[in-house]
Amino acid sequence: MAFDEAATVFKDPKAISIFDPDHSEIEDRWVAMGISEKGRLLIVMHTFREESEDAVTIRVISSRQTTKHETASYGEPT
């Protein structure tokens, strides 16, 4: 999955991002799920870096398409 496509997941108004404690030994890592600009439902592993009080940079670590189970859970109320 291309990083430029993965970054578009964060424009999805229904995208969710949850903390990933299992992979946060060195830095806080997060897992997002959302629809890319190409219409694919993706899982994106990422970090947040606070650049200033008003700006945050998102660094994409990796991405992949969702599994059938993950796809079924997309958009369900939490």
| pLDDT tens figures, 26-73 | 889 999 999 999 999 999 999 988 888 899 899 999 999 999 988 888
| Distance from C-alpha of 38 to C-alpha of 50, rounded to nearest angstrom | 28
| Distance from C-alpha of 70 to C-alpha of 66, rounded to nearest angstrom | 6
Residue 77 has pLDDT above 80, yes or no: no
pLDDT of residue 49: 86
pLDDT of residue 10: 94
pLDDT of residue 1: 67
pLDDT of residue 78: 56
pTM of the model: 0.83
